[in-house]
């Protein structure tokens, strides 16, 4: 009896082979299809706006530097970047201390964004509530340059600097 059962067991234990060929066929169709329609670039977005007419609300006159909001202004010219600040809460004298001019080293050279970043960082440290930057490029400035300027001004070491960007044309 025992030996009979043992014999039966050895007969049933057989290697079962799954037919993988149909699955392979499906994969061979699916993979080229997905490869053809796949996109290997990562599209990201920069939130920005253009100036519109709105009712302005004045900031509190007695507010300290911690609450005062200033708007950084970056003018991109052919050979230089002009930085300044505007605010309803601060006087012209104090605001003028934030005016600076950062020139390109050569005609074909890149703009010195590191210097721009240092200046904007100082402004942010002085007025931490500030978050808006107005970029005013010259007409001939390329879109790529504007995006690079936005990159330099929006975040510093992954901390927000001036994340709200307004792109404006020069008002003559």
Partner 1 sequence: MALGNRRKNARGFDVPKLQITSMMDMFTIILIFLLTCYSDKPEVVHLEKDLRLPESVAQSDYQENIKLVLSRSNLWLEGEIVATVQDGEIVGLDPEKLNNSRLYQKLVAYRERADKGNLARPDKPGRPDKPDKPDKLDNQDKPEKKAQEHIIFLCDKNIPFHTINLVTKTAAMAGSPNFQFAVLKK
Interface ranges with partner 1 (CB under 8 A): 20-21, 23-24, 27-28, 30-31, 34-35, 37-52, 137-144, 146-148, 150-151, 154-155, 167, 169
Residue 118 beta carbon to partner 1: minimum distance, rounded to whole angstroms: 17
For residues 69 and 87, is the Cβ–Cβ distance under 8 A?
Answer: yes
Residue 66 beta carbon to partner 1: minimum distance, rounded to whole angstroms: 27
- Closer residue to partner 1, CB minimum distance, 86 or 166: 166
For residues 125 and 68, is the Cβ–Cβ distance under 8 A?
Answer: no
List beta partners, residue 155: 160
- Closer residue to partner 1, CB minimum distance, 68 or 83: 83
Alpha-carbon dihedral angle through residues 44, 50, 55, 61, given to the nearest 10 degrees: 70
Q: How far apart are the first and last CA of the chain?
A: 107
Residue 100 beta carbon to partner 1: minimum distance, rounded to whole angstroms: 22
- Closer residue to partner 1, CB minimum distance, 13 or 43: 43
Nearest Cα to Cα of residue 89 among 71, 66, 63 = 63
Structure tokens at 48: 């920005």
Residue 94 beta carbon to partner 1: minimum distance, rounded to whole angstroms: 30
For residues 31 and 38, is the Cβ–Cβ distance under 8 A?
Answer: no
- Closer residue to partner 1, CB minimum distance, 86 or 155: 155
Residue 43 beta carbon to partner 1: minimum distance, rounded to whole angstroms: 6
For tokens 């001019």, the residue is 101
- Closer residue to partner 1, CB minimum distance, 54 or 125: 54
């Amino acid at each position: 009896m025992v030996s009979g059962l043992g014999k039966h067991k050895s007969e049933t234990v057989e290697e079962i082979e799954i037919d993988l060929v149909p699955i392979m066929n499906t994969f061979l169709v699916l993979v080229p299809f997905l490869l053809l329609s796949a996109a290997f670039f990562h599209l990201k977005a920069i939130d920005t706006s253009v100036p519109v007419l709105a009712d302005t609300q004045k900031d509190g006159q007695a507010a300290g530097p911690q609450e005062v909001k200033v708007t950084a202004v970056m003018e991109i010219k052919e050979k230089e970047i002009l930085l300044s600040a505007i605010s309803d809460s601060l006087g012209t004298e104090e605001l003028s201390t934030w005016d600076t001019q950062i020139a390109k080293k050569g005609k074909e050279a890149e703009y010195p964004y590191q210097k721009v970043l240092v200046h904007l960082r100082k402004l942010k440290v002085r007025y931490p509530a500030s978050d808006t930057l107005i970029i005013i490029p010259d007409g001939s400035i390329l879109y790529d340059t504007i995006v690079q300027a936005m990159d330099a001004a929006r975040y510093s070491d992954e901390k927000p600097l001036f994340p709200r960007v307004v792109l404006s044309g020069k008002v003559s």
